[in-house]
Amino acid sequence: MACPSRCRLAGLLLLVLLGSGCASVRTLDAAKPGAPVIYAGTRLDWYAIEGGCCPLERFGAEAPAYPALDLPASAVLDTLLLPFALAVELGVSLGVSGGL
């Protein structure tokens, strides 16, 4: 049975909210020297859930407004990005650049 339009709308809204506030995406943009790289978004969410005082100083990014809600999505995205995070941690240059 197909999901009613309300269910689809709620799912789309949830994706938009999580995508804009996802801890994994925020830590990817941070590029703070010494910040955690492996499972950084998941660690940022957990840090915020535990009441960490200074996520910007430790991770180079602010925690999402609802870290407990973001935690599962960040764990999945961090797992998908794990090979790249390991390469960065090991100092392997992948020759990847962004922009135009």
Number of domains in the chain: 1
Please tell me the predicted confidence (pLDDT) of residue 45.
93
H/E segment holding residue 12? helix 5-21
Residue 11 falls inside a structural domain:
no
Would you say residue 73 has pLDDT above 70? yes
Residue 4 falls inside a structural domain:
no
Return the higher-pLDDT residue of 70 and 30. 70
Residue 31 falls inside a structural domain:
yes
Residue 49 falls inside a structural domain:
yes
Residue 75 falls inside a structural domain:
yes
- Look up residue 40 and give its amino acid: A
Residue 12 falls inside a structural domain:
no
pTM of the entire structure? 0.71
Tokens at 71, concatenated: 């935690």
Tokens 């999402």 — which residue?
64
Domain that holds residue 71: 22-90
pLDDT tens-place string over residues 5-51: 777 777 766 665 555 567 887 787 677 788 888 999 999 999 999 99
Mean pLDDT across the chain: 81
Tally of CB atoms within 10 A around 26: 22
Residue 28 falls inside a structural domain:
yes
